[in-house]
Amino acid sequence: MKLKISFQGERGAYSEEAIIQRFGENVELFPRPFLREVFSLAEVGTVDYAVVPIENSLEGSVGSTYDLLFSSNLKIVGEIILRVRHCVMANKGVKLEDIKEVWSHPQALAQCRGYIERHGWEPVPMYDTAGSAKLLKEKGLKNVAAIASKRAAQFYDLDILAEEVEDVPLNFTRFLILSRSEAEPTGKDKTSIIFAVSHKPGALYRALEVFANKDINLTKIESRPTKLRPWEYYFFVDFEGHVKDKRVSEALTLLAERVLFIKVLGSYPRSQ
Amino acid sequence: MKLKISFQGERGAYSEEAIIQRFGENVELFPRPFLREVFSLAEVGTVDYAVVPIENSLEGSVGSTYDLLFSSNLKIVGEIILRVRHCVMANKGVKLEDIKEVWSHPQALAQCRGYIERHGWEPVPMYDTAGSAKLLKEKGLKNVAAIASKRAAQFYDLDILAEEVEDVPLNFTRFLILSRSEAEPTGKDKTSIIFAVSHKPGALYRALEVFANKDINLTKIESRPTKLRPWEYYFFVDFEGHVKDKRVSEALTLLAERVLFIKVLGSYPRSQ
Which residue ranges form the domains of chain B, and what is each CATH number? Answer: 3-83+172-179 (3.40.190.10), 87-163 (3.40.190.10), 189-269 (3.30.70.260)
Any residues with CB less than 8 A from the CB of B4 and at least 6 apart, and which?
Answer: B27, B28, B30, B46, B47, B48, B49
Dist CA A272 CA A266 (whole Å)? 18
b vs e for A45-76, b when ≥16 Cβ sit within 10 Å of the residue's Cβ? eebbbbbbbbbbbbbbbbbbbbbbbeebebbb
pTM (2 d.p.): 0.89
- Please spell the DSSP secondary structure of B241-265, one letter per residue: S-TTSHHHHHHHHHHHHHSSEEEEE
pLDDT at A18: 98
pLDDT at A2: 95
**Could you list the active site residues of A?**
173, 175
Give the DSSP H or E segment for A239: strand A233-240
Any residues with CB less than 8 A from the CB of B174 and at least 6 apart, and which?
Answer: A231, B53, B54, B55, B56, B57, B79, B80, B81, B82, B271
pLDDT digit string, tens, across residues A174-197: 999 999 999 999 999 999 999 999
Task: Give the CA distances from residue B179 to residues A263, B48, B238, in Å, rounded to whole numbers and listed in that order.
Answer: 41, 6, 18
Q: Which residues of A fall within a CB distance of 8 Å from B225? A: 55-60
pLDDT at B260: 93
Q: Which residues of A fall within a CB distance of 8 Å from B202? A: 211-212, 215
Chain B nearest C-alpha distance from A221 (Å): 7
Q: Where are the alpha helices (DSSP H) in B156-267?
A: 203-213, 246-258
Is residue B70 annotated as a catalytic residue, yes or no?
no
| Selected residues 162-201 of chain B with any CB under 8 Å from a CB in chain A | 168, 170, 172, 174, 200-201
| Selected residues 42-101 of chain B with any CB under 8 Å from a CB in chain A | 55-61, 63, 66, 81
Mean pLDDT per 10-residue section of chain A, whose length is 272 residues: 95 97 97 93 98 93 92 97 97 96 91 94 90 96 97 97 92 97 95 92 92 93 88 93 96 95 96 82
Interchain CB contacts (distance < 8 Å): A and B: 116
pLDDT at B168: 86
Query: Which positions of chain B have pLDDT values less than 50?
Result: none
Chain B nearest C-alpha distance from A216 (Å): 6
> Do residues B184 and B119 touch, judged by C-beta distance below 8 A?
no
Q: Which residues of B fall within a CB distance of 8 Å from A80? A: none
pLDDT at B93: 95
pLDDT at B137: 97
